[in-house]
C-alpha cells in the first residue's frame, strides 16, 4: 500500500491536479485488496464485470461500482477481521439502522496524517489553551457514533482547559442541557482564553436563539471560533441560511463570520472536508468527487447538480472506495473560488427524500443480488 502512504503524506493537501495518477494507483491497490479479502465485495464487482486492474486512468474511477450509504446500513462488509479494527464507528442511524465502519492501523495512520495536514493548512492548530463548548454528545460507552467521536477528538488540537457538552447522558438517554451551557458561557466570557464551539449547527443555532429569548449576550475573548459539523440531521426544517447564522454568532458571541468554520463528511467516507474563507469545500488529495445524474447515475459535468459520489482509498478494513450519498450537490471548478485553492469545490444543496432516491435503492437491490445476499 505504498501508493496510499504517498497520497496521505502529500505535502499540499489540495494538490489534486498533481496527484491524479497517484490517486488512481492508490484506488487500484485498495480495490485489489478488498477484492481479495472481502467475498461480498468481490461478488459485487464480479456482478458488474469489474476488476481492480481496470482502474488505469482518472476516467476509470467513474466505472467503479458505487455502494449507496443505505447499503452499509443493512450489511456489514469487512475486509479484515474485526479483531484487527482498532476503532469502529457508526452513523447516526436512519430509521434505526446504522452503518458500521472499522479502521485498521493503516487507515488510522492515514487519517491522522490527513487531519494533521488539513488542520495545519487552515491554521486550526494552536498552542493557546482553549475552553470548549461542544454542541454534541457527551462521551458514553453506549454511543459509538462517528459524530460523537470526532467532536471530542477535535478538542485535542489545542490544550483544552474545560469541555462542556450540550447533550448529556442521563437516565439511559441524552438530554439537551441549555442551562448548563449558558452557565458555562458566562464563565467562559470572563476568561482571558478563547472559546471554541464544536458540533452540530442546529444545536449551536438553538443555543443562540435561547440566548436571544432570554436577552443574553456573551461576547467571547478574541480568537474564539465556531466549528460546525454533522449537518442539521432531523432539524433540516429549521435550517437557516448561512448569513442568518453568521449574524447571530456576531450578535450573541462577538464571533465574526471569518471565525465560523464548517466541515463535511460521512461515516462511510471518513475524509475531512474543511471550508475555505469563502465557505467552499475544496476536495482534498485524499478523495475525489463525482456528481451523478439522479435518474441515470451517469457522471455530469462540473456546475451541474446531481447525487454526490465520494471516492477514497483510505481504508482496508471496509470497502468504502466509492460510495453514493443521498446528498444533492454541485462540483465547481477550483478557479471559480477566489481563495486561491485550485482544487474543485463541492457545494452541498441538500438531501433528497427517500422517495426521490429510487435509483439508489434499485442499485442497492442489484448489489444485493450480485453479492448473493
Q: What φ, ψ does residue 169 adopt, rounded to 5°?
A: -85, 115
Q: Is 347 within the bounds of a domain? A: yes
Q: How far apart are CA 148 and CA 134, in angstroms?
A: 10
Q: What is the CATH number of the domain that holds 49?
A: 3.40.50.12780
Indicate whether 134 and 244 sit together in one domain.
yes
Indicate whether 300 and 359 sit together in one domain.
yes
**Residue linked to cell 461515516:** 267
Q: Is 113 within the bounds of a domain? A: no
Indicate whether 73 and 130 sit together in one domain.
no
Q: Is 46 within the bounds of a domain? A: yes
Please report the pLDDT score of residue 30 as a whole number.
98
For the chain, residues with pLDDT lower than 50 are 94, 354-373
Residue 94 has which C-alpha cell?
A: 436512519
Indicate whether 158 and 234 sit together in one domain.
yes
Residue 37 has which C-alpha cell?
A: 479479502
Indicate whether 193 and 246 sit together in one domain.
yes
Number of domains in the chain: 2
Indicate whether 44 and 165 sit together in one domain.
no
Strand 260-266 with 225-228, pairing: parallel
Indicate whether 255 and 340 sit together in one domain.
no
Please report the pLDDT score of residue 363 as a whole number.
41
Closest CA to 316 of 54, 38, 23, 13: 38
Indicate whether 27 and 140 sit together in one domain.
no
Q: Is 276 within the bounds of a domain? A: no
Indicate whether 332 and 223 sit together in one domain.
no
Helix (H), strand (E) at residue 43: helix 39-47
Q: What is the CATH number of the domain that holds 162?
A: 3.40.50
Give the structural domain span for 305: 2-80+286-370
Fill in the DSSP letter of residue 106. Answer: H
CB atoms within 10 A of CB 9: 12
Indicate whether 148 and 214 sit together in one domain.
yes
Please report the pLDDT score of residue 350 as a whole number.
82
Residue 311 has which C-alpha cell?
A: 471516492
Amino acid at each position: 500500500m505504498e501508493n496510499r502512504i504517498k497520497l496521505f503524506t502529500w505535502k499540499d493537501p489540495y494538490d489534486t491536479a498533481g496527484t491524479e495518477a497517484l490517486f488512481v494507483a492508490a484506488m487500484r491497490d485498495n480495490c485489489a485488496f478488498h477484492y481479495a479479502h472481502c467475498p461480498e465485495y468481490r461478488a459485487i464487482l464480479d456482478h458488474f464485470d469489474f476488476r481492480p486492474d481496470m482502474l488505469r486512468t482518472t476516467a476509470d474511477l467513474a466505472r467503479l461500482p458505487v455502494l449507496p450509504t443505505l447499503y452499509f446500513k443493512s450489511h456489514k462488509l469487512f475486509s479484515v477481521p474485526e479483531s484487527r479494527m482498532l476503532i469502529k464507528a457508526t452513523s447516526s442511524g436512519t430509521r434505526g439502522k446504522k452503518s458500521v465502519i472499522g479502521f485498521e492501523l493503516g487507515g488510522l495512520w492515514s487519517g491522522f496524517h490527513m487531519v494533521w495536514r488539513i488542520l495545519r493548512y487552515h491554521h486550526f492548530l494552536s498552542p493557546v489553551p482553549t475552553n470548549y463548548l461542544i454542541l454534541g454528545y457527551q462521551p458514553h460507552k453506549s454511543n459509538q457514533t462517528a459524530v460523537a467521536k470526532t467532536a471530542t477528538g477535535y478538542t485535542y488540537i489545542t490544550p483544552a482547559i474545560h469541555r462542556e457538552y450540550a447533550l448529556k447522558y442521563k437516565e439511559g438517554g441524552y438530554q439537551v442541557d441549555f442551562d448548563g451551557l449558558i452557565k458555562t458561557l458566562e464563565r467562559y466570557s470572563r476568561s482571558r482564553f478563547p472559546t471554541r464551539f464544536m458540533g452540530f449547527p442546529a444545536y449551536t443555532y438553538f443555543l443562540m436563539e435561547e440566548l436571544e429569548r432570554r436577552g443574553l449576550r456573551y461576547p467571547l475573548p478574541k480568537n474564539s471560533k465556531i466549528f460546525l459539523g454533522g449537518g442539521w440531521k432531523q432539524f433540516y426544517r429549521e435550517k437557516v441560511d448561512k448569513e442568518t447564522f453568521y449574524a447571530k454568532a456576531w450578535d450573541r458571541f462577538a464571533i465574526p463570520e471569518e471565525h465560523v468554520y464548517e466541515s463535511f463528511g460521512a461515516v462511510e467516507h471518513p475524509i475531512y472536508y474543511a471550508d475555505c474563507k469563502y465557505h467552499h469545500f475544496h476536495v482534498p488529495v485524499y478523495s475525489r468527487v463525482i456528481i451523478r445524474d439522479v435518474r441515470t447515475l451517469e457522471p455530469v459535468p462540473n456546475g451541474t447538480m446531481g447525487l454526490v459520489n465520494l471516492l477514497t482509498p483510505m481504508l482496508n478494513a471496509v470497502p468504502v472506495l466509492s460510495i453514493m450519498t443521498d446528498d444533492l450537490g454541485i462540483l465547481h471548478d477550483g478557479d471559480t473560488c477566489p481563495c486561491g485553492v485550485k482544487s474543485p469545490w463541492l457545494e452541498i444543496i441538500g438531501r433528497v427524500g427517500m422517495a426521490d432516491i429510487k435509483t439508489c435503492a434499485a442499485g442497492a437491490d442489484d448489489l444485493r443480488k450480485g453479492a448473493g445476499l
